[in-house]
């Protein structure tokens, strides 16, 4: 059994009503339910949190040290602005997969840079809610090949 921390960043609590043409119609609860279903088949236990605050996200990352095997994170807009979240991920040295619902490289140019990607195993974007499933599968693959 592997233990994974799933973090949803700012504004993801508004999924399903916020810009559905960009983020889809699934709610955060829908995504979490789908993650819980797939995690069982991957033999992964999830701890899932959504936070709008940068500091709260960092606190969850720090708390994962020694208790979790990996991190699946959608840092939202903090992807492009937070050196602090990047440093927290680097500091705990957990295999991390960064996910995004939209294809950030087809959007505004400021979204093309990720502070998280250099400290992550990989990044998945553009597949809507399925980005999370792909990210969890990628993390499971990473665990098993180590």
pLDDT of 32-66, one tens digit each? Answer: 999 999 999 999 999 999 999 999 999 999 999 99
pLDDT tens, residue by residue, 74-105: 999 999 889 999 999 999 999 999 999 988 77
The torsion angles phi and psi of 113, rounded to 5 degrees, stand at: -105, 130
**Strand-pair category, 96-100 with 122-125:** parallel
How far is 146 from 143, CA to CA, in rounded Å? 6
Active site residue 23: yes
Q: What is the CATH number of domain 2-145?
A: 3.40.50.9100
Active site residue 100: yes
pTM score of the predicted model: 0.93
The ranges assigned to domains in the chain are: 2-145
What pLDDT was estimated at residue 112? 64
What pLDDT was estimated at residue 104? 75
What pLDDT was estimated at residue 111? 67
Which one from 8, 60, 100, 132 is the annotated catalytic residue? 100
pLDDT tens, residue by residue, 90-143: 999 999 999 999 887 766 776 668 999 999 999 999 999 999 999 999 999 999
Residues in CB range of 136: below 8 A, 6 or more apart: 4, 6, 35, 38, 39, 42, 44, 72, 97
Q: How far is the CA of 2 from the CAs of 9, 12, 38, 47, in angstroms?
A: 22, 25, 13, 11
The torsion angles phi and psi of 58, rounded to 5 degrees, stand at: -60, -40
pLDDT tens, residue by residue, 10-38: 999 998 887 767 667 799 999 999 999 99
pLDDT cut 90: percent of the chain above it? 81
Which one from 23, 78, 115, 132 is the annotated catalytic residue? 23
What pLDDT was estimated at residue 98? 97
Instruction: Sort 97 into a burial class: Cβ within 10 Å, 0-12 / 13-18 / 19+.
Output: buried
């Amino acid at each position: 059994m592997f233990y994974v921390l799933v973090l949803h960043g700012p504004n993801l609590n508004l999924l399903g009503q916020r810009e559905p043409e960009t983020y889809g119609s699934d709610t955060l609860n829908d995504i979490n339910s789908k993650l819980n279903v797939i995690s069982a088949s991957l033999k992964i236990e999830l701890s899932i949190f959504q936070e709008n605050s940068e500091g709260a996200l960092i606190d969850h990352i720090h708390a994962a040290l020694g208790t979790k095997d990996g991190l699946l994170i959608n840092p939202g807009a903090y992807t492009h602005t937070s050196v602090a979240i990047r440093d927290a991920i680097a500091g705990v040295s957990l295999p991390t997969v960064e996910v995004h619902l939209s294809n950030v490289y087809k959007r505004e140019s400021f979204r093309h840079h990720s502070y998280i990607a250099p400290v992550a195993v990989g990044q998945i974007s553009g597949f809507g809610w399925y980005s999370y499933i792909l990210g969890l599968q990628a993390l499971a693959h990473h665990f098993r090949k180590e």
